[in-house]
Structure 1
Amino acid sequence: MGLEIRTVTESEVADWVRAVNRGFHRSQTISPEEIGIMRAGYDLERTRGAFDGDRCVATFRSMARDLTVPGGGSVRADAVTNVTVTATHRRRGLASGLMAADLAAARERGEAVSILIAAEYPIYGRFGFGPATWVTDWEIDVPRAGLGRRHAGPDPAEGTVELISAAEVRAVGPALHERVRTRTAGAISREAGWWDRATGASVLPSFGFKEPFFVVHRDLAGEVDGMAAYEVNDPHWPGKLPNADAEVRWQLAAGPAADAALWRYLLSLDWVVRLRSGHRPPDDVLPLLLGDPRAARTETYADFMWLRLLDVPAALSARGYAPVAADLVLDVRDPAGLSGGTFRLETAPGDAPRCTPAPSAAADLTLDVATLSRLYLGDESVLRLADLGLVTEHRAGAAATADHLFRTPRRPWCPETF
């Protein structure tokens, strides 16, 4: 019957979920209960599949999210997930077709950017995406960390740390996350279901759930300004010596005092000799909190959230820049025809930045949309990409000006896997 790419109907959700599981090498046996739980989180207008007759052979889904950008503003983002192609149907353009349909719809909805977590590096550059945030995971050798028992743990002069229940997490977590999200470039909004899944109120049977410990930090006024979830694995004790591992599932802190207090608490847990940090910002202060930063061994340092600009004027006007007066004309190439053109970016101290189409202006820099997307959150150097031939300078000094404008003092970070 041929291959057809389209949105998924209600009656096709179960087949679509099984196709997702095939793509991720998971079980094909899925209960109606589990499919119902998953369906509750889907917007079918944003859920697409490729069908070979009645069989779903490729999947694609997106979600609306708010993305924090440098300067504290936000843009509406098209968050892409569940991208799979069944092994029997590769090399037929299905991923390209699904991506093109979603990006066109996102552009029509007025979403300024599209974002995703790339499972494999080489895939998404051809669709105009670039790596916009990075992530680091550390394993900390606790005995070597240099936090003696007298100095470990939170400082009561800066607040208190306490264990709380899952229900309390659901009550206070969303407000804390939004507080952290709006001050963290690269962070995205969470839907209510995230908290249900993170606390065991909603469990997918095939994934199961092991309840972690939940801990909060309260400032001197009693307000929650930090939170973490962690678990401890206490294996056999060789030679009757403690040998437990602790793993941080997630940690949020609205300020440096809460951040430090939570890490000191986690590093002072009885019997724990190894602490895995979970995903952290690539320039996190965590190793520098230790008496011996070498005790934090890097397990992962990798690209994480990829971004694609869909509306260049809206996206570039929404973020903040270095407080200097500048006038840059960017010639942006987009083979997909979604967001290319010539644009003037104007900044001045005290004034809101402005990016407008400038089709007749002479370009200062030429670059493709994937390269500009890579620069958007401030994590990459214009000069470095120019050395790679990805940015062409037409006016002397324009690349250095752009580098100064776009770079941020702290690196962007996306705490979410979506």
Structure 2
Amino acid sequence: MSSPAADIDVRAITEAEFSDWNRALNTGFLREPVVAQEQLEARRNQFVPGRLLGAFDAGRCVATFRSFAQEITAVGGATVPADAVSNVTVTATHRRRGLLTRMMNQDLAAAKERGDVVATLIAAEYPIYGRYGFGAATWMAEWTIDVPRTGLDPRWSGPDDGGRIDLVDGEEVRKIGPELHERARRAQPGAVSRDELWWRSSTGAVRLFSGEWTEPFYAVYRSAAGEVEGLVAYKADDRWDGKQPQHTAEVKWLLGATPAAERALWHYLCSIDWITKVESGWRAPDDLLPFYLPDPRAASIRTHGDWLWVRILDVVRALQARTYEGTGTLVLEVTDRQGLAGGRYLLEASPEGASCAPTTRSAELTLDVDALATLWLGDESAGRLAALGRLKEERKGAARVADALMHTSRRPWCPDIF
């Protein structure tokens, strides 16, 4: 018989408890509970004292929670420090006891104390995280490309802009990838930082999970000046039907610093012998991919859904970090059940910069902190939130002012899962 909730110990784990914590993590994600020693040693790279929380019932770990330092790109290219939340599980035998709430509250309070501006996560299930102040701030789409329908030359021999595409190995990707990613992510609101472990695990140098590693193909696009501007990792299956190839190229990730690089890499993927279908992997919801093809209908959306969730921890720094499309002022009444970021704030914004400070002026918009998160990166519309009852206009027309200031011409996107 399990213990009452009050007797379950929620705290930061010790390194000696890391193996048991990983067993609970695998159990929660329906992976094989036993963690191979090789994977356990690799995962020790993720152990940061105080950032891995666990719930313990009679000494056995029954819930897991990990956070780590991250940067996220705000609208305009500035980056802010974020508390990235991951590895959240509660064992099925111990649900409905407030364990996630205790772990989340402990982590968010620590993040606020550290000075993180926001917290971030990728939600496995939609209904869970809104009650902790998170809002869906970016969305994603996955496309399937029917290669024969694209209208592209199946014998395409390379870019016509003077650039070139070469195949490279994982070691080369680890050398050239980080600098390219830094350039690309600063131009993409919603993009997050990648540490060395990301590059090592994504290229097979470190194995975080059990199972046989299959090396992807890696292709790099270099501009006419020889600068690395794009990278793609992809795998291909082996399928024939009536002696006709029916192979699919599955994109693991594709990173482009310029539209020319992206166009060249998609055309390359569609020109590989025997490939009749390309699965795009996670892309921005307004990605240009279909329009890189002579027939955009050859790319059909397979998945469209919420992706990066954001939780504002510091309203002043969050609103001052981003740029704005128009000029105006707005008084926001922000409610926050956790008591971390609530208050009334005066935003004064223009394309030249912005200031935000607590104020006693009358509120013009009232909204919860999770709704503010959906507006922060420029994707959501205040008018839509008002229609849904998630935002209240205290002054008629204030939602239109908010949209004129905060809505962006291109949608934010987070290329990563964590």
What TM-score bracket applies, with the shorter chain setting the length? over 0.9
| Partner residue, 1:168 | 172
| Partner residue, 1:92 | 97
| Partner residue, 2:223 | 219
| Partner residue, 1:204 | 208
CA distance in 2, matches of 1:348, 1:268: 46
| Partner residue, 1:123 | 128
CA distance in 2, matches of 1:10, 1:332: 39
| Partner residue, 1:327 | 329
Q: Any unmatched runs of 5+ in structure 2?
A: none
CA distance in 2, matches of 1:153, 1:128: 50
CA distance in 2, matches of 1:38, 1:75: 26
Matched, 1:296 2:296: no
| Partner residue, 1:345 | 347
Give CA-to-partner distance per residue, 1:354-386, whole Å, 9 cap, x none.
11111x210010000010011110110100110
CA distance in 1, matches of 2:40, 2:385: 45
Contact 2:229 2:257 in 1 (8 A): yes
CA distance in 2, matches of 1:117, 1:205: 19
Q: Which one of 49, 54, 60 corresponds to residue 59 of structure 2?
A: 54
CA distance in 2, matches of 1:175, 1:382: 36
Give CA-to-partner distance per residue, 1:123-142, whole Å, 9 cap, x none.
11111111001010111110
Change (3 A) 1:333 1:153: farther
CA distance in 1, matches of 2:379, 2:76: 14
| Partner residue, 2:115 | 110
* Corresponding residue SS for 1:45: coil
| Partner residue, 1:365 | 365
Q: After TM superposition, which residue ranges in structure 1, 4 or more long, deviate above 3 angstroms?
A: none
Q: Any unmatched runs of 5+ in structure 1?
A: none
| Partner residue, 1:253 | 256
CA distance in 1, matches of 2:258, 2:414: 17
Contact 1:154 1:262 in 2 (8 A): no
CA distance in 1, matches of 2:141, 2:351: 34
| Partner residue, 1:380 | 380
Matched, 1:20 2:25: yes
- The aligned amino acid for 1:320 is T
| Partner residue, 2:338 | 336
User: How far is 1:26 from its partner?
Assistant: 1.0
CA distance in 1, matches of 2:229, 2:322: 26
- The aligned amino acid for 2:266 is W
Contact 1:153 1:267 in 2 (8 A): no
CA distance in 2, matches of 1:388, 1:353: 28
| Partner residue, 2:394 | 394
| Partner residue, 2:241 | 238
- The aligned amino acid for 2:74 is V
| Partner residue, 2:152 | 147
Contact 1:158 1:257 in 2 (8 A): no
* Length-normalised TM-score, structure 2: 0.97
| Partner residue, 2:404 | 404
CA distance in 2, matches of 1:68, 1:84: 27
- The aligned amino acid for 1:304 is W
CA distance in 1, matches of 2:202, 2:281: 14
User: How far is 1:240 from its partner?
Assistant: 1.6
User: How far is 1:248 from its partner?
Assistant: 0.6
Contact 1:328 1:345 in 2 (8 A): yes
* Corresponding residue SS for 2:245: coil
* Corresponding residue SS for 2:278: strand
User: How far is 1:187 from its partner?
Assistant: 0.3
| Partner residue, 1:354 | 355
Matched, 1:228 2:229: no
User: How far is 1:207 from its partner?
Assistant: 3.5
* Corresponding residue SS for 2:395: coil
User: How far is 1:87 from its partner?
Assistant: 0.4
- The aligned amino acid for 1:333 is T
| Aligned-pair Cα RMSD in Å | 1.2
Give CA-to-partner distance per residue, 1:24-61, whole Å, 9 cap, x none.
01112223332121011221211101111201111000
Contact 1:212 1:230 in 2 (8 A): yes
| Partner residue, 2:311 | 308
- The aligned amino acid for 1:335 is R
Give CA-to-partner distance per residue, 1:146-183, whole Å, 9 cap, x none.
11235x45424241111111111111000001111111
CA distance in 2, matches of 1:136, 1:406: 23
Contact 1:130 1:307 in 2 (8 A): yes
* Length-normalised TM-score, structure 1: 0.97
CA distance in 2, matches of 1:348, 1:116: 30
Give CA-to-partner distance per residue, 1:87-126, whole Å, 9 cap, x none.
0000000001110000000000000000000000111111
Contact 2:73 2:191 in 1 (8 A): yes
CA distance in 2, matches of 1:239, 1:386: 56
User: How far is 1:397 from its partner?
Assistant: 1.6
Contact 1:153 1:261 in 2 (8 A): no
CA distance in 1, matches of 2:32, 2:343: 46
* Corresponding residue SS for 2:231: strand
| Partner residue, 2:182 | 178
User: How far is 1:205 from its partner?
Assistant: 5.7
* Corresponding residue SS for 1:266: helix
| Residue-pair matches, total | 413
CA distance in 2, matches of 1:46, 1:143: 49
